[in-house]
Amino acid sequence: MKQIIFAIAIFFALALTSCESLNNNSEGNENYEPIVLTKSQQAVAAKGDAFALDFLRVTSQNFPGTNLFLSPMSASMLCSMLANGAEDETYTEIVKAIGMDSFTIDQVNDCYTTLVAALLKADRNVSLSLANSLWAAKELDLKSSFQKQMFRIYDADSYVVDFADDATLPRINGWCSDKTNGLIPKMFDEIDPQVQLILINALYFKGIWKVQFVKDLTAQAPFYAISGQNTTADFMSAASDAFTGYQDESVTVARLPYGNGAFYLEAIMPADKDFMAFLAGLSPEKLARWDANNIQQFEIRFPKFKASFDTEQQLIPIMQSLGMKKAFSRAAEFGKISNTPLYVSNMRQKAFVSLDEEGTEAAAVTIAELRKNEAGSGPVLVFNRPFVYLIREKSTGAILFAGTKLN
């Protein structure tokens, strides 16, 4: 086995509105009915696929050599929530970053509303939850129009809280845990009392394979890591005409369906040893070409694993690389959220996946913290390490005194 890209269908990139549902698994596989979208909605969805691959590519550049598990959909959902509250250049950069700059925000919202409703009922054998919330500081003059928009489009829970209250942190973490079936139990380590607003998106997915792997056939075998060193993994084995895929001299693709086939895991393994170059060239067009040329009735040997990933402080530079910049600056324009000047001071995503003989359970939470941009304020500069200091005359730059502070 070589390095593998994992893509779960429910996590393909689309800036969604959020509803919430948790479908109970039930016996039997009802017939799969394709989701029908209008031409406009199809165009939005296609741009979402492109963002998913861009998001994966840029994140991999920020975390070289690291196993990634992300939700482009969750990140895109959160950014679309921000876009609904943004104006002018801030708005333009957000929608461009997620690939939606050729559509109006109403077109984007319409697509996501339709798609989420369809996803939630696509397969009764799959448990799927999509949830949003906003947590506003009690002193923030949150505009009722934005709050209503968050509820109407995103079905977002809305809370007014005191971020200085010790009870607020466990309350927000509890919401994240509840919406991910406990897979993301602690999203926040702490919350700065200066935060004015937190937006949260949470996704949860649990799918049982359409054809389950027999546990007795699982056996250890080498996995050839990107580092060049061999590791050992537990490989599951199965053969079924329910599997579809594609193979040529450059790539091997396998699709493993869940439930009635509405959702599937797609694994893509390049033949070339330069995995990062392959990832850089991955495109929706290539995915479509591979999807159109299927092979069936093959045996697959696939590793079982658990993985968690945390963007930590890197989600802001990732989104900046995609063109979303002004939202993180003191010049941010979020006038549709509040008359109080706000900017995004923190973005983060945590994700988890567990894949075994029975199926896959996965979750992701993406958050954005917004702070007050007070007139005339700037970054906090903390001189808590050794430094040089000078006393100078302004017009000439003449240095009258010079010193160092070392301890």
Cβ(210)–Cβ(300) below 8 Å: no
Q: How far apart are the first and last CA of the chain?
A: 54
Domains of the chain: 1-407 (3.30.497.10)
- Residue 370, strand partner residues: 197, 344
Q: What is the pTM of this model?
A: 0.86
Structure tokens at 242: 């329910």
Answer yes or no: is pLDDT of 9 > 80: no
Answer yes or no: is pLDDT of 401 > 80: no
Answer yes or no: is pLDDT of 258 > 90: yes
Report the alpha-carbon distance of residue 254 to residue 239 in Å, rounded: 12
Report the alpha-carbon distance of residue 231 to residue 251 in Å, rounded: 22
| CA distances for 337 relative to 340, 388, 405, 407, angstroms | 8, 42, 44, 45
* Highest mean pLDDT: which range of 10-19, 34-43, 239-248: 34-43
Report the alpha-carbon distance of residue 193 to residue 182 in Å, rounded: 26
Higher pLDDT, 15 or 147: 147
Cβ(204)–Cβ(365) below 8 Å: no
The sign of the CA dihedral 45, 50, 54, 60 is positive
Structure tokens at 237: 């084995």
Tens of pLDDT, residue by residue over 115-134, are 899 999 999 999 999 999 99
Average pLDDT of span 4-22:
33
- Residue burial 121-143, b: 16+ Cβ < 10 Å; e: rest: ebbbbbbbbbbbbbbbbeebebb
The residue written with tokens 């017939």 in the block is 31
Hey, what amino acid is at 363?
Answer: A
Report the alpha-carbon distance of residue 159 to residue 170 in Å, rounded: 14
Answer yes or no: is pLDDT of 23 > 50: no
343, containing H or E segment: strand 342-355
Report the alpha-carbon distance of residue 77 to residue 49 in Å, rounded: 13
Query: Residue 131 CA to chain centroid, in angstroms?
Result: 13
Fill in the DSSP letter of residue 187. S
Report the alpha-carbon distance of residue 97 to residue 107 in Å, rounded: 16
Cβ(185)–Cβ(177) below 8 Å: yes
- Choose the weakest-confidence range: 22-36, 142-156, 279-293, 367-381: 22-36
| CA distances for 257 relative to 81, 267, 289, angstroms | 31, 11, 19
